[in-house]
Chain A
Amino acid sequence: MIPAQFDYVRPGDVAEAVRVLAESEEPKVMAGGQSLTPLLRFRLAYPDVVVDLGGLTELRGVADEGEWLRIGAMTTHDEVIHDPLVAAHCPLLAQATHTVADPAVRHRGTLGGSLAHADPAGDLPAVALALDAEFLVSGEDGDRAVPASEFFQDYLTTVLDIGDVLTAVRFPKLTGWSFHYKKFSQTAQAWAIVGVAAAVRRDDGSVAEARVGLTNMGSTPIRARQVEEACRGVPARTDALREAAQSADAGTDPPNDLSAQADYRRHLARVLTGRALAAAAGL
């Protein structure tokens, strides 16, 4: 379908974007447009103004900030996948990003757009949550950093307010950890039915620490805290990690939809978490 009419603004800097957004009734920020354009076409979104961040080159690229890797919100998925700093310090993000959609979408789609869109079936929110990323936001009242644990509020809903622009995401460099993103999806559709972002720090033959973020097990990404506790100190063996993963669906509220019923998603979460932890532990 053809989208409903809207005004189009391409601001020259973040301050102008914030100003335009704050002055509008129902604005939408456009990053790469790979989620927003379909919503416009289906007329599921009726913005009065689309604020296209495509001209803001300062929001693009990866920077080494010591303990952190700072990735500009407008960095495309394709750039994330091929970035040497991401490969060195945040390989889980590169691996999960590689499973997003297809090459053409990854050429346009952005890290910030995916996270701000906050689709429960999107892969990157669970990664940001598992890695304790920080979201850097510019708004009418200045700049602020929001931890991933507070960023995602509900289905397609984040803490971002109407005048806010997500400018970058900072990922902590986790040394001594290894990672794996495990995803179950239909071949013709890259949306995750369930996805698991796992990080493991081994201490020789045992697991010292683990982190698990779940995709599409509720209206927001979810940390499987019970699994993380259960992993502490267990032998780094497949059976032990599979056992620890049995509580992966605890506290989740997975959806029923055409792809899967909730009880099947619970089953998938347990199985995939065990596999993701084992792969992350190098087993």
Chain B
Amino acid sequence: MPHIRVTVDGVSYDDQVEARRLLVHYLREQLGKVGTPVGCDTTNCGACTVLMDGQSVKSCSVLACQADGHDITTVEALAADGDLHPIQRAFHETHALQCGYCTPGMMMAALDLLRDNPDPSDEEIREGLEGNMCRCTGYVNIVRAVREAAAVMRATTAAPESESRTTDVPQQVVREQEPAPQAASGGASS
């Protein structure tokens, strides 16, 4: 079986995986990171979106083997010590979800968008989230949430000494809490 080394949410893993193992299944079943759901299984819905080296990818369309040597950030890296990330807080406060199934992917795709464009227009938000589908609440409040999170994140970037911990983008978050390499192994099957 292929052997991979991958960093997930700041923790390094050294694992054997089946060649056919999808990244989303590796995250959920081998690492227990069930914050990332499997959605449509057809590369359409975006529910399984994670960041790979800071860029959004659909983890149902990446083999675990292809993640070898890369840095993965899942929704589970966003909150720390019960302190929600601004994108999480904004989704909560603007009622940007009903069933919540699409929410992890929506937030990861939104963070990818905000990394490139910290002050997007509503149209840019819709374009940035075009690969993510919500089947219950609709998109109006999701766009509001991203807009509000963007404002909070911009304000924090402008005043980094206050609240910097909770408003960093995830790549910075995970580096802060990254332990020594290979501090953890990959769950039951490794």
Interface residues of A (CB under 8 A from B): 1-8, 10, 30, 33-34, 37-38, 40-42, 50, 52, 54, 78, 101-105, 107-108, 188-190
Contact = CB atoms under 8 A, between A and B. Distances in A.
Contacts, number: 86
Interface of B: 2, 18-20, 22, 25, 41-44, 46, 49, 52, 55-58, 60-63, 65-66, 68, 109, 112-113, 128, 130-133
Contacts of B132: 102
A33 B65 CA distance: 12
B65 A8 contact: yes
Contacts of A101: 43, 131
A35 to B, nearest CB: 9
B63 A102 contact: no
Contacts of B61: 33-34, 37-38, 105, 108
Contact of A108 (B20, B42, B57): B57
Contacts of B25: 2
A4 B25 CA distance: 15
B24 to A, nearest CB: 11
B133 A188 contact: yes
Please give me the 7 A-B residue pairs with the lowest Cβ-Cβ distance, nearest first.
A102-B131, A8-B19, A3-B20, A104-B56, A107-B55, A37-B61, A102-B130
28 contacts: A2-B22, A4-B20, A5-B20, A6-B20, A7-B19, A8-B63, A37-B43, A37-B62, A38-B42, A38-B61, A40-B20, A41-B60, A50-B63, A52-B65, A52-B66, A101-B131, A102-B46, A102-B132, A103-B109, A103-B131, A104-B109, A105-B58, A107-B52, A107-B57, A108-B62, A188-B44, A188-B133, A189-B44
A16 B20 CA distance: 21
B65 A104 contact: no
A106 to B, nearest CB: 9
A54 B68 CA distance: 10
A103 B54 CA distance: 13
B116 to A, nearest CB: 9
